[in-house]
């Protein structure tokens, strides 16, 4: 009798699980697929002012100082946070990068470089992981210090600037 009850309970459990799986499958069939993400057309690299940079701490012992001109910050309809990052050495050498961060996927893209008073577009810009490069650390520092609100873009450019000016506040996951 005990064996019969155990078998009956097992068959009931299998039946219930099968019915639940079928119901879940039917629900999934009624939900439209999410559209695949598409990056918006990237605006041309904006002008920047080195006198208005907000510091981004990349490496406290490093030879370069990094900063973002708040006037270059943009939050695209595609969720990409675009900005101009300026790197300056103690000797006065300067370069700038026009980049985008995709907070939801933890990626960044370099669109153009600035050298000797002109922008040079990158031939084939590609999304790269914020965590994979041991050499290029400034996009991750930007995301952590205010460029992202966890895995989402901040709600406004003002939020980004406020967070960058409060470097103790880390808002992007490690």
CATH, residue 77: 2.40.128
Q: Which residues neighbour 172 within 8 Å (Cβ) at sequence distance 6 or greater? A: 103, 140, 143, 144, 147, 148, 150
Q: Based on the structure, what is the number of domains in the chain?
A: 2
Does 103 fall in a domain?
yes
Evaluate whether residue 9 is within a structural domain: yes
> Do 76 and 130 belong together in one domain?
yes
Buried b (16+ CB within 10 A) or exposed e, 108-147: bbbbbbbeeeebeeeeebeeeebeeeeeeebbbbbbbbbb
pLDDT in tens, 65-95: 999 999 999 999 999 999 999 999 988 899 9
Q: How confident is the model at residue 136 (pLDDT cuts 50, 70, 90)?
A: confident
Q: What is the pTM (predicted TM-score) of this model?
A: 0.76
Does 8 have pLDDT greater than 70?
Answer: no
- The per-residue pLDDT for 32 is 47
Is 171 part of a structural domain of the chain? no
Query: Is residue 135 assigned to a domain?
Result: yes
What was the pLDDT predicted at 28? 42
pLDDT of residue 26: 43
| Structural domain boundaries enclosing 121 | 50-164
The stretch 119-148 carries a mean pLDDT of 92
Q: Are 70 and 140 in a shared domain?
A: yes
Over residues 23-40, the pLDDT tens digits come to 444 434 444 455 799 999
Q: How is 22-74 classified by DSSP, letter by letter?
A: HHHHHHHHHSPPPPPP-PPPPPPPPP--GGGPEEE-S-TTSSEEEEE-GGG-E
Asked whether residue 160 falls in the same domain as residue 105, the answer is yes
Mean pLDDT estimate for the chain: 82
In tens, the pLDDT along 156-165 reads 999 999 999 9
Q: Is residue 38 part of a domain?
A: no
What share of the chain in percent tops pLDDT 70? 75
């Amino acid at each position: 009798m005990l064996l019969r009850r155990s078998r009956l309970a097992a068959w009931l459990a299998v039946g219930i699980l099968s019915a639940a799986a079928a119901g879940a499958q039917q629900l999934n069939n009624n939900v439209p697929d999410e559209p695949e993400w598409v990056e918006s057309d990237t605006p041309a690299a904006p002008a920047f002012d080195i006198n208005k940079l907000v510091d981004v701490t990349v490496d406290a012992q490093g030879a370069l100082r990094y900063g973002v001109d708040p006037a270059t910050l943009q939050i695209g309809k595609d969720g990409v946070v675009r900005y101009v990052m300026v790197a300056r050495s103690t000797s006065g050498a300067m370069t700038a990068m026009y980049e985008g961060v995709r907070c939801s996927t933890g990626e960044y893209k370099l669109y153009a470089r600035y050298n000797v008073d002109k922008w040079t577009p990158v031939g084939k810009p590609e999304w790269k992981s914020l965590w994979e490069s041991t050499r290029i650390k400034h996009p991750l520092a930007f995301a952590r210090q205010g460029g992202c609100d966890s895995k989402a873009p901040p709600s406004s450019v003002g939020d980004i600037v406020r967070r960058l000016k409060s470097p103790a506040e880390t808002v992007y996951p490690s």
